Amino acid sequence: MPILHNVVQYSEAYDRLRLGIPTSSHFHKIITPQGKPSKQWREYACVLIAERILQRKIEFYNSPAMERGLIAESEAADWYEFDQDVTVQRVGFITDDDHSVGCSPDRLVGDEGLLEIKAPLPHTQIEYWISGEVNERFRPQLQGQLYVSQRSWSISSAGMTCFPRLSCELSLMKSSLGRSTASCKSSTTL
C-alpha cells in the first residue's frame, strides 16, 4: 500500500524521507530501459549506504537546465490541465509500506494516473519531435513511479514550456506508459 507524504518537494522533510532509499528518479542507475542491470548500480548503492551511515543527503550538482525545469513545471502542469480538461494534484513524496523505495511524480491525475513533466533543452526537444519518443529514456523512472504509487498509468509530457514562440501543437509531446508489474518489480532490485 503506497503512503503519500504531504511534504514540499526539495524541502528538508522531503530530503529526510528520501534518505538512503532508492527513488524512481534514479532507477536508471539500477536498471536500463531495456531491463538490463545498469553499469551505475554499484556507485548508486554506495551513495545510498553513505546516506544511511551519515544520516544526511549526499549533494550533487544541479545544472541550470535542471533549475529551469523546476521553474517550468508549474506552467506545464497548468497547460496539461487545460489541454486535457482534468485536475491534477501536487504530491510530495510516496513510499511503499516498508519505506524501502520512493518516488515523487510531478502530479497525480485522478485516482489512477501520474504526470511526469520534462522541460528538455531545445536540441533535446527537437530530437523528441523527430523521433516521436520521450518515454524510453525515462522508462525506469516512470515504471518505478507506477510500482511505488500502485497507480495504473503514467504520462510523461515534455517540452510544453521550452519554446514559447512555437505553437502548442508542436510543443506538447506526450508519451503514455501503462503499469507492468514484472518490469516494476525488477526496477527496485538493488
Q: What is the pLDDT of residue 75?
A: 87
pTM, two decimals, is 0.81
Q: What does each of the 190 residues of the chain score in pLDDT, given as a tens digit? A: 999 999 999 999 999 999 999 999 999 999 998 889 999 999 999 999 999 999 999 988 888 878 888 888 888 899 899 989 999 999 999 999 999 999 999 999 999 999 998 888 888 878 877 877 665 778 899 999 999 999 999 888 765 444 443 433 334 444 556 654 333 333 333 3
Q: What is the pLDDT of residue 178?
A: 63
Q: What is the pLDDT of residue 126?
A: 81
Q: What is the pLDDT of residue 159?
A: 57
Cβ(96)–Cβ(148) below 8 Å: yes
Domains and CATH numbers, the chain: 3-187 (3.90.320.10)
- The number of C-alpha atoms within 13 Å of 123 and in the hemisphere containing its C-beta is 1
